[in-house]
Structure 1
Amino acid sequence: MKKKSLILFSGGIDSYVAMALEKQSGAECVSLSFEYAGQPDQEIRAIREISAIERVPNYIVRHPVIIGAKYGEKPVQFIPDNLVYYSMAIAFSRNNKISRIIGGQNKDDSVHATDAKNMFYEGLNKIIVNNYPDSVLEIVQPLLNMTKLEVVEKGLELNLPLELTWSCQNSGHKPCIFCSNCRSREEISKKLGVNL
Protein backbone atom coordinates (compact mmCIF):
# COMPACT_ATOMS: atom_id res chain seq x y z
CA MET A 1 0.00 0.00 0.00
CA LYS A 2 1.32 3.45 -0.97
CA LYS A 3 2.24 5.77 1.86
CA LYS A 4 0.22 8.98 1.88
CA SER A 5 2.01 12.26 2.47
CA LEU A 6 0.91 15.83 3.11
CA ILE A 7 3.18 18.56 1.73
CA LEU A 8 3.03 21.97 3.40
CA PHE A 9 3.16 23.97 0.18
CA SER A 10 3.82 27.71 -0.13
CA GLY A 11 4.46 27.92 -3.87
CA GLY A 12 8.14 28.62 -3.18
CA ILE A 13 11.27 26.74 -4.24
CA ASP A 14 11.83 24.82 -0.99
CA SER A 15 8.36 23.36 -0.66
CA TYR A 16 8.30 22.54 -4.39
CA VAL A 17 11.58 20.58 -4.14
CA ALA A 18 10.31 18.82 -1.00
CA MET A 19 7.12 17.88 -2.88
CA ALA A 20 9.08 16.54 -5.86
CA LEU A 21 11.36 14.43 -3.66
CA GLU A 22 8.39 12.92 -1.84
CA LYS A 23 6.62 12.15 -5.12
CA GLN A 24 9.84 10.56 -6.40
CA SER A 25 9.82 8.24 -3.36
CA GLY A 26 6.53 6.79 -4.62
CA ALA A 27 4.25 8.43 -2.05
CA GLU A 28 0.71 9.49 -2.82
CA CYS A 29 0.86 13.25 -2.19
CA VAL A 30 -1.63 15.95 -1.30
CA SER A 31 -0.71 19.47 -0.25
CA LEU A 32 -1.91 22.03 2.27
CA SER A 33 -1.50 25.78 1.74
CA PHE A 34 -2.52 28.85 3.70
CA GLU A 35 -4.25 32.05 2.61
CA TYR A 36 -3.66 35.15 4.69
CA ALA A 37 -4.28 38.89 4.59
CA GLY A 38 -1.77 40.67 2.37
CA GLN A 39 -0.61 37.47 0.66
CA PRO A 40 0.94 38.18 -2.77
CA ASP A 41 -1.41 37.22 -5.62
CA GLN A 42 1.51 35.61 -7.42
CA GLU A 43 2.06 33.25 -4.49
CA ILE A 44 -1.51 31.98 -4.83
CA ARG A 45 -0.97 31.64 -8.60
CA ALA A 46 2.23 29.63 -8.02
CA ILE A 47 0.44 27.29 -5.60
CA ARG A 48 -2.37 26.62 -8.08
CA GLU A 49 -0.18 26.32 -11.17
CA ILE A 50 2.42 23.99 -9.65
CA SER A 51 -0.25 21.84 -7.97
CA ALA A 52 -1.93 21.39 -11.37
CA ILE A 53 1.34 20.56 -13.17
CA GLU A 54 2.36 18.04 -10.50
CA ARG A 55 -1.19 16.63 -10.23
CA VAL A 56 -1.09 17.03 -6.45
CA PRO A 57 -4.49 17.89 -4.91
CA ASN A 58 -4.17 21.14 -2.97
CA TYR A 59 -6.23 22.15 0.05
CA ILE A 60 -6.39 25.72 1.35
CA VAL A 61 -6.70 26.91 4.95
CA ARG A 62 -7.79 30.52 5.44
CA HIS A 63 -6.01 32.00 8.42
CA PRO A 64 -8.24 32.71 11.38
CA VAL A 65 -8.78 36.37 12.17
CA ILE A 66 -8.90 37.72 15.72
CA ILE A 67 -11.96 39.97 15.55
CA GLY A 68 -12.09 43.12 17.65
CA ALA A 69 -8.86 42.46 19.53
CA LYS A 70 -6.87 45.60 20.38
CA TYR A 71 -3.75 46.37 22.34
CA GLY A 72 -4.03 50.03 23.28
CA GLU A 73 -5.03 51.87 20.10
CA LYS A 74 -3.64 49.30 17.70
CA PRO A 75 -5.36 46.12 16.53
CA VAL A 76 -3.66 42.95 17.72
CA GLN A 77 -1.63 41.35 14.93
CA PHE A 78 -1.92 37.63 14.32
CA ILE A 79 0.93 36.38 12.19
CA PRO A 80 0.86 32.58 12.17
CA ASP A 81 4.14 30.76 12.49
CA ASN A 82 5.29 27.18 12.01
CA LEU A 83 3.55 25.99 15.19
CA VAL A 84 0.19 27.04 13.72
CA TYR A 85 0.96 25.55 10.30
CA TYR A 86 2.12 22.20 11.65
CA SER A 87 -0.71 21.96 14.19
CA MET A 88 -3.21 22.31 11.35
CA ALA A 89 -1.24 19.84 9.24
CA ILE A 90 -1.30 17.30 12.10
CA ALA A 91 -5.08 17.64 12.50
CA PHE A 92 -5.65 17.40 8.73
CA SER A 93 -3.38 14.35 8.45
CA ARG A 94 -4.95 12.49 11.37
CA ASN A 95 -8.41 12.99 9.87
CA ASN A 96 -7.34 11.85 6.40
CA LYS A 97 -5.18 8.78 7.14
CA ILE A 98 -1.95 10.51 6.13
CA SER A 99 1.26 9.09 7.60
CA ARG A 100 3.84 11.77 6.74
CA ILE A 101 3.87 15.58 6.88
CA ILE A 102 6.59 16.99 4.63
CA GLY A 103 8.02 20.45 5.27
CA GLY A 104 10.35 22.53 3.13
CA GLN A 105 12.53 24.19 5.76
CA ASN A 106 16.23 24.30 4.89
CA LYS A 107 19.46 24.78 6.85
CA ASP A 108 19.55 28.54 6.21
CA ASP A 109 16.03 28.97 7.67
CA SER A 110 17.15 27.54 11.01
CA VAL A 111 19.74 30.32 11.43
CA HIS A 112 17.02 32.99 11.65
CA ALA A 113 13.98 31.15 13.04
CA THR A 114 13.80 29.05 16.20
CA ASP A 115 10.76 27.23 14.81
CA ALA A 116 12.73 25.99 11.80
CA LYS A 117 15.32 24.00 13.74
CA ASN A 118 15.48 20.20 13.90
CA MET A 119 14.81 20.34 17.66
CA PHE A 120 11.45 22.02 17.00
CA TYR A 121 10.29 19.23 14.66
CA GLU A 122 11.62 16.53 16.98
CA GLY A 123 9.49 18.14 19.71
CA LEU A 124 6.38 18.05 17.50
CA ASN A 125 7.01 14.39 16.66
CA LYS A 126 7.25 13.63 20.41
CA ILE A 127 3.89 15.35 20.94
CA ILE A 128 2.36 13.15 18.22
CA VAL A 129 3.83 9.95 19.73
CA ASN A 130 2.86 10.85 23.32
CA ASN A 131 -0.66 12.06 22.58
CA TYR A 132 -1.71 9.91 19.63
CA PRO A 133 -0.13 6.51 20.39
CA ASP A 134 -2.30 4.80 17.77
CA SER A 135 -1.02 7.16 15.04
CA VAL A 136 1.78 6.36 12.57
CA LEU A 137 2.07 10.05 11.68
CA GLU A 138 5.48 11.75 11.55
CA ILE A 139 6.85 15.12 10.44
CA VAL A 140 9.74 14.82 7.97
CA GLN A 141 12.09 17.61 6.88
CA PRO A 142 14.02 16.35 3.83
CA LEU A 143 15.83 19.65 3.22
CA LEU A 144 16.90 20.53 6.76
CA ASN A 145 20.57 19.68 6.14
CA MET A 146 20.71 21.51 2.80
CA THR A 147 21.47 25.18 2.21
CA LYS A 148 19.17 27.21 -0.02
CA LEU A 149 21.75 26.97 -2.80
CA GLU A 150 21.80 23.16 -2.49
CA VAL A 151 17.99 23.07 -2.55
CA VAL A 152 17.96 25.04 -5.82
CA GLU A 153 20.64 22.73 -7.26
CA LYS A 154 18.48 19.74 -6.33
CA GLY A 155 15.46 21.34 -8.01
CA LEU A 156 17.47 21.92 -11.19
CA GLU A 157 18.75 18.33 -11.06
CA LEU A 158 15.11 17.17 -10.90
CA ASN A 159 14.29 19.41 -13.92
CA LEU A 160 11.64 21.32 -11.98
CA PRO A 161 10.31 24.54 -13.56
CA LEU A 162 11.54 26.65 -10.63
CA GLU A 163 10.68 29.83 -12.54
CA LEU A 164 7.03 29.11 -11.68
CA THR A 165 7.72 29.48 -7.95
CA TRP A 166 7.23 32.74 -6.06
CA SER A 167 9.57 33.97 -3.31
CA CYS A 168 8.88 37.72 -3.10
CA GLN A 169 7.24 38.98 0.09
CA ASN A 170 5.40 41.70 -1.84
CA SER A 171 2.51 41.73 -4.29
CA GLY A 172 2.96 42.62 -7.93
CA HIS A 173 3.33 41.01 -11.33
CA LYS A 174 7.11 40.91 -10.94
CA PRO A 175 9.33 40.30 -7.89
CA CYS A 176 10.24 43.53 -6.07
CA ILE A 177 14.01 42.63 -6.08
CA PHE A 178 14.46 44.44 -2.73
CA CYS A 179 13.08 42.08 -0.06
CA SER A 180 15.40 39.51 1.56
CA ASN A 181 13.80 36.62 -0.37
CA CYS A 182 14.30 38.38 -3.71
CA ARG A 183 17.92 39.24 -2.88
CA SER A 184 18.66 35.64 -1.90
CA ARG A 185 17.02 34.31 -5.07
CA GLU A 186 18.97 36.77 -7.25
CA GLU A 187 22.26 35.87 -5.56
CA ILE A 188 21.68 32.14 -6.15
CA SER A 189 20.63 32.79 -9.76
CA LYS A 190 23.93 34.58 -10.40
CA LYS A 191 26.00 31.90 -8.66
CA LEU A 192 24.42 29.11 -10.69
CA GLY A 193 24.04 31.08 -13.93
CA VAL A 194 20.32 30.35 -14.21
CA ASN A 195 17.12 32.37 -14.37
CA LEU A 196 14.88 31.76 -11.39
Structure 2
Amino acid sequence: MINNFNKKAVVILSGGMDSTLSSYIAKNSGYELIAVHFNYGQRTQERELKAFRDICEKLNVLNKYEIDIPFFTQIGASALTDKTIDVPTSGIEKGIVPITYVPFRNGIFLSIASAIAEKEEASAIYIGVVEEDSSGYPDCSDNFIQDMNKAINEGTKEDTKIRIITPLVHLSKTQIVEESIKLNVPLNLTWSCYKEEIEACGVCDSCRLRLNGFKNANAIDPIKYKEIN
Protein backbone atom coordinates (compact mmCIF):
# COMPACT_ATOMS: atom_id res chain seq x y z
CA MET A 1 0.00 0.00 0.00
CA ILE A 2 1.26 3.49 -0.88
CA ASN A 3 2.03 5.73 2.09
CA ASN A 4 0.05 8.92 1.44
CA PHE A 5 2.30 10.86 3.84
CA ASN A 6 5.25 10.31 1.50
CA LYS A 7 3.57 9.94 -1.85
CA LYS A 8 6.37 10.55 -4.31
CA ALA A 9 6.71 9.12 -7.80
CA VAL A 10 9.64 9.06 -10.15
CA VAL A 11 8.37 9.74 -13.67
CA ILE A 12 10.51 8.71 -16.63
CA LEU A 13 9.90 11.61 -18.98
CA SER A 14 11.40 11.52 -22.47
CA GLY A 15 9.39 14.52 -23.64
CA GLY A 16 7.24 12.38 -25.93
CA MET A 17 3.47 12.18 -25.91
CA ASP A 18 3.25 8.88 -23.99
CA SER A 19 5.64 9.75 -21.17
CA THR A 20 4.06 13.20 -20.82
CA LEU A 21 0.55 11.77 -20.45
CA SER A 22 1.92 9.22 -17.97
CA SER A 23 3.43 12.08 -15.91
CA TYR A 24 0.14 14.00 -15.92
CA ILE A 25 -1.69 10.88 -14.74
CA ALA A 26 0.84 10.54 -11.90
CA LYS A 27 0.30 14.13 -10.84
CA ASN A 28 -3.48 13.77 -11.01
CA SER A 29 -3.14 10.69 -8.78
CA GLY A 30 -1.72 12.91 -6.03
CA TYR A 31 1.98 12.17 -6.35
CA GLU A 32 4.78 14.65 -5.86
CA LEU A 33 6.75 14.21 -9.09
CA ILE A 34 10.46 13.53 -9.45
CA ALA A 35 11.14 13.77 -13.18
CA VAL A 36 13.96 11.82 -14.81
CA HIS A 37 15.23 12.33 -18.36
CA PHE A 38 17.93 10.36 -20.17
CA ASN A 39 20.38 11.74 -22.71
CA TYR A 40 21.66 8.56 -24.35
CA GLY A 41 23.07 9.82 -27.62
CA GLN A 42 19.78 9.61 -29.50
CA ARG A 43 19.49 11.57 -32.76
CA THR A 44 16.99 14.05 -31.33
CA GLN A 45 18.66 14.38 -27.93
CA GLU A 46 18.66 18.19 -27.78
CA ARG A 47 15.03 18.51 -28.91
CA GLU A 48 13.87 15.86 -26.43
CA LEU A 49 15.73 17.62 -23.62
CA LYS A 50 13.98 20.88 -24.50
CA ALA A 51 10.62 19.09 -24.42
CA PHE A 52 11.47 17.60 -21.01
CA ARG A 53 12.35 20.99 -19.55
CA ASP A 54 9.27 22.68 -21.03
CA ILE A 55 6.95 19.97 -19.70
CA CYS A 56 8.56 20.05 -16.24
CA GLU A 57 7.89 23.78 -16.17
CA LYS A 58 4.22 23.19 -17.05
CA LEU A 59 3.95 20.53 -14.35
CA ASN A 60 5.79 22.71 -11.80
CA VAL A 61 8.31 19.92 -11.20
CA LEU A 62 11.09 21.18 -8.93
CA ASN A 63 12.97 17.92 -8.40
CA LYS A 64 14.38 16.65 -11.68
CA TYR A 65 17.31 14.64 -12.97
CA GLU A 66 18.95 14.84 -16.39
CA ILE A 67 21.03 11.66 -16.68
CA ASP A 68 23.72 11.16 -19.33
CA ILE A 69 24.19 7.59 -20.59
CA PRO A 70 27.00 7.73 -23.16
CA PHE A 71 27.52 4.00 -23.59
CA PHE A 72 24.49 3.46 -25.85
CA THR A 73 26.41 5.08 -28.71
CA GLN A 74 29.30 2.69 -28.05
CA ILE A 75 26.95 -0.30 -28.20
CA GLY A 76 25.24 0.95 -31.36
CA ALA A 77 22.94 -1.60 -33.04
CA SER A 78 20.11 0.96 -33.21
CA ALA A 79 19.24 3.63 -35.75
CA LEU A 80 18.50 5.98 -32.85
CA THR A 81 22.07 5.90 -31.50
CA ASP A 82 24.15 4.95 -34.57
CA LYS A 83 24.04 7.57 -37.32
CA THR A 84 25.47 5.13 -39.85
CA ILE A 85 22.14 3.26 -39.70
CA ASP A 86 19.23 4.95 -41.47
CA VAL A 87 15.99 5.51 -39.58
CA PRO A 88 13.37 3.46 -41.46
CA THR A 89 10.51 5.34 -43.12
CA SER A 90 8.65 2.47 -44.78
CA GLY A 91 6.31 1.71 -41.88
CA ILE A 92 6.15 -0.97 -39.19
CA GLU A 93 6.34 -4.66 -40.05
CA LYS A 94 4.32 -6.80 -37.67
CA GLY A 95 6.32 -9.41 -35.77
CA ILE A 96 9.70 -7.82 -36.51
CA VAL A 97 11.61 -5.78 -33.93
CA PRO A 98 12.66 -2.64 -35.85
CA ILE A 99 16.18 -1.27 -36.11
CA THR A 100 15.09 1.69 -33.95
CA TYR A 101 15.00 -0.64 -30.93
CA VAL A 102 17.74 0.33 -28.45
CA PRO A 103 18.96 -2.86 -26.69
CA PHE A 104 17.40 -3.17 -23.22
CA ARG A 105 16.86 0.59 -23.01
CA ASN A 106 13.82 0.48 -20.73
CA GLY A 107 15.51 -2.05 -18.45
CA ILE A 108 18.43 0.32 -17.98
CA PHE A 109 16.14 3.35 -17.58
CA LEU A 110 14.10 1.53 -14.92
CA SER A 111 17.24 0.43 -13.07
CA ILE A 112 18.51 4.01 -12.83
CA ALA A 113 15.04 5.30 -11.95
CA SER A 114 14.90 2.71 -9.16
CA ALA A 115 18.15 3.98 -7.68
CA ILE A 116 16.71 7.50 -7.72
CA ALA A 117 13.41 6.27 -6.23
CA GLU A 118 15.24 4.51 -3.40
CA LYS A 119 17.31 7.62 -2.64
CA GLU A 120 14.25 9.90 -2.77
CA GLU A 121 12.05 7.43 -0.83
CA ALA A 122 9.54 7.35 -3.67
CA SER A 123 6.97 4.57 -3.73
CA ALA A 124 6.25 4.51 -7.47
CA ILE A 125 7.88 4.77 -10.86
CA TYR A 126 5.72 5.84 -13.80
CA ILE A 127 6.78 4.84 -17.30
CA GLY A 128 4.73 5.45 -20.45
CA VAL A 129 5.31 2.12 -22.20
CA VAL A 130 2.65 1.01 -24.68
CA GLU A 131 2.41 -2.71 -25.44
CA GLU A 132 -0.19 -3.15 -28.18
CA ASP A 133 0.29 -0.06 -30.33
CA SER A 134 4.06 0.45 -30.10
CA SER A 135 6.80 -0.34 -32.61
CA GLY A 136 7.09 -3.91 -31.30
CA TYR A 137 9.83 -3.28 -28.75
CA PRO A 138 10.27 -6.24 -26.36
CA ASP A 139 10.98 -3.97 -23.36
CA CYS A 140 7.51 -2.38 -23.60
CA SER A 141 5.54 -5.50 -22.64
CA ASP A 142 3.47 -5.90 -19.51
CA ASN A 143 5.32 -9.14 -18.63
CA PHE A 144 8.71 -7.43 -18.89
CA ILE A 145 7.61 -4.60 -16.57
CA GLN A 146 6.23 -7.06 -14.00
CA ASP A 147 9.46 -9.05 -13.99
CA MET A 148 11.53 -5.85 -13.66
CA ASN A 149 9.36 -4.75 -10.75
CA LYS A 150 10.01 -8.00 -8.94
CA ALA A 151 13.77 -7.76 -9.56
CA ILE A 152 13.89 -4.14 -8.36
CA ASN A 153 12.21 -4.96 -5.06
CA GLU A 154 14.51 -7.97 -4.62
CA GLY A 155 17.57 -5.82 -5.20
CA THR A 156 16.77 -2.84 -2.98
CA LYS A 157 16.63 -2.34 0.79
CA GLU A 158 14.01 -4.26 2.72
CA ASP A 159 12.08 -1.11 3.61
CA THR A 160 12.14 0.09 -0.03
CA LYS A 161 8.86 -0.75 -1.74
CA ILE A 162 8.63 0.47 -5.32
CA ARG A 163 5.75 -0.12 -7.71
CA ILE A 164 6.21 0.40 -11.44
CA ILE A 165 3.02 1.93 -12.82
CA THR A 166 2.27 1.74 -16.55
CA PRO A 167 -1.01 3.63 -17.08
CA LEU A 168 -0.81 3.41 -20.89
CA VAL A 169 0.42 -0.14 -21.41
CA HIS A 170 -2.86 -1.45 -22.86
CA LEU A 171 -3.98 1.73 -24.63
CA SER A 172 -3.88 2.46 -28.36
CA LYS A 173 -2.30 5.65 -29.70
CA THR A 174 -5.80 6.91 -30.44
CA GLN A 175 -6.81 6.44 -26.80
CA ILE A 176 -3.60 8.15 -25.71
CA VAL A 177 -4.42 11.19 -27.85
CA GLU A 178 -7.99 11.27 -26.53
CA GLU A 179 -6.87 10.98 -22.90
CA SER A 180 -4.21 13.65 -23.40
CA ILE A 181 -6.79 16.07 -24.77
CA LYS A 182 -9.15 15.26 -21.89
CA LEU A 183 -6.42 16.01 -19.31
CA ASN A 184 -5.23 19.18 -21.11
CA VAL A 185 -1.76 17.72 -21.65
CA PRO A 186 0.38 20.29 -23.56
CA LEU A 187 0.90 18.14 -26.65
CA ASN A 188 2.40 21.15 -28.47
CA LEU A 189 5.44 20.84 -26.19
CA THR A 190 6.00 17.13 -26.80
CA TRP A 191 8.38 15.57 -29.33
CA SER A 192 8.11 12.10 -30.85
CA CYS A 193 10.15 12.19 -34.07
CA TYR A 194 13.12 9.82 -34.36
CA LYS A 195 14.92 11.79 -37.09
CA GLU A 196 14.50 15.55 -36.92
CA GLU A 197 14.81 18.28 -34.27
CA ILE A 198 13.26 21.36 -35.93
CA GLU A 199 10.22 19.98 -37.77
CA ALA A 200 9.08 16.38 -37.23
CA CYS A 201 9.78 14.21 -40.29
CA GLY A 202 6.27 12.73 -40.50
CA VAL A 203 7.51 9.43 -41.95
CA CYS A 204 9.47 7.57 -39.22
CA ASP A 205 7.68 4.89 -37.18
CA SER A 206 7.14 7.20 -34.23
CA CYS A 207 5.70 10.02 -36.35
CA ARG A 208 3.44 7.56 -38.19
CA LEU A 209 2.05 6.11 -34.95
CA ARG A 210 1.49 9.57 -33.51
CA LEU A 211 -0.19 10.97 -36.64
CA ASN A 212 -2.40 7.89 -36.95
CA GLY A 213 -3.48 8.36 -33.34
CA PHE A 214 -4.51 11.95 -34.00
CA LYS A 215 -6.27 11.00 -37.23
CA ASN A 216 -8.33 8.26 -35.56
CA ALA A 217 -9.16 10.59 -32.66
CA ASN A 218 -10.39 13.23 -35.15
CA ALA A 219 -7.89 15.70 -33.70
CA ILE A 220 -5.15 17.91 -35.13
CA ASP A 221 -1.56 17.40 -34.01
CA PRO A 222 -0.26 20.80 -32.81
CA ILE A 223 3.38 20.23 -33.81
CA LYS A 224 4.84 20.98 -37.27
CA TYR A 225 5.81 18.28 -39.77
CA LYS A 226 8.07 18.38 -42.82
CA GLU A 227 5.84 15.96 -44.65
CA ILE A 228 2.81 13.80 -43.93
CA ASN A 229 2.04 10.65 -45.92
Above 0.5 in TM-score?
yes
Name the residue aligned to 1:146.
171
2:34 is the alignment partner of 1:30: yes
Q: Which amino acid aligns with 1:134?
A: D
**Which TM-score applies when normalising by structure 1?**
0.87
**RMSD of aligned Cα (Å):** 2.4
- Would you say 1:59 and 2:75 are equivalent positions? no
1:50 aligned to which of 51, 55, 69: 55
Tell whether the 8 Å contact from 1:128 to 1:138 is kept in structure 2 after alignment: no
Report the counterpart of residue 21 of structure 1 in structure 2: 25
Q: Does 2:106 correspond to 1:82?
A: yes
1:7/1:19 contact within 8 Å kept: yes
1:22 to partner: Cα distance: 0.8
In structure 1, the residue matched to 2:94 is none
Deviation at 1:93, TM superposition (A): 0.9
Instruction: Identify if the C-alpha distance between structure 1 residues 69 and 48 changes in structure 2 by more than 3 Å, giving closer, same or farther.
Output: closer
Q: CA deviation at 1:174?
A: 0.5
CA contact (8 A) 2:11 2:23 kept: yes
Which residue does the alignment assign to 2:85? Answer: none
Whether 2:193 is the aligned partner of 1:174: answer: no
Q: Between Structure 1 and Structure 2, which shows a larger proportion of helix residues?
A: 1
- 1:58-87 CA distance string (max 9 Å, x none): 2111013389889xxxxxxx8561111111
Q: Where do 5+ consecutive residues of structure 1 fail to align?
A: 71-77
Are 2:129 and 1:105 aligned?
yes
- SS of 2:171 mapped into structure 1: coil
Q: Answer yes or no: is 1:137 the counterpart of 2:142.
A: no
Deviations 1:72-120 (A, max 9, x none): xxxxxx8561111111111111111111010101233567122111111
Structure 2 gap ranges (5+): 77-101, 222-229
- Counterparts of 1:80 and 1:125 in 2: how far apart (Å)? 15
Aligned-pair identity in percent equals 30
Q: Distance in 1 between matches of 2:42 and 2:142?
A: 29
- Which deviates more from structure 2 when the two are superposed, residues 129-138 or residues 92-101? 129-138
For residues 112 and 166 of structure 2, what CA distance do their matches in structure 1 show?
17
Q: 2:8 aligns to what?
A: 4
3-state secondary structure, aligned to 1:121: helix
Q: Structure 1 residue runs of 4+, over 4 Å off?
A: 66-70
Residue type of the partner of 1:142?
A: P
On the 8 A contact 2:175/2:217 being kept in 1, the answer is no
- After superposition, the Cα gap between the structure-2 partners of 1:168 and 1:53, relative to the gap in structure 1 and judged at 3 Å, is same
Q: 1:101 to 1:108 in 2, by over 3 A?
A: same
Q: For 2:73 and 2:210, how far apart are their aligned partners in 1?
A: 36
Higher-RCO chain (CA-CA 8 Å, sequence separation at least 6): 1
Which AA in structure 1 matches 2:217?
A: L
Q: Residue 180 of structure 2 aligns to which amino acid in structure 1? A: G
SS state at 2:125 partner: strand
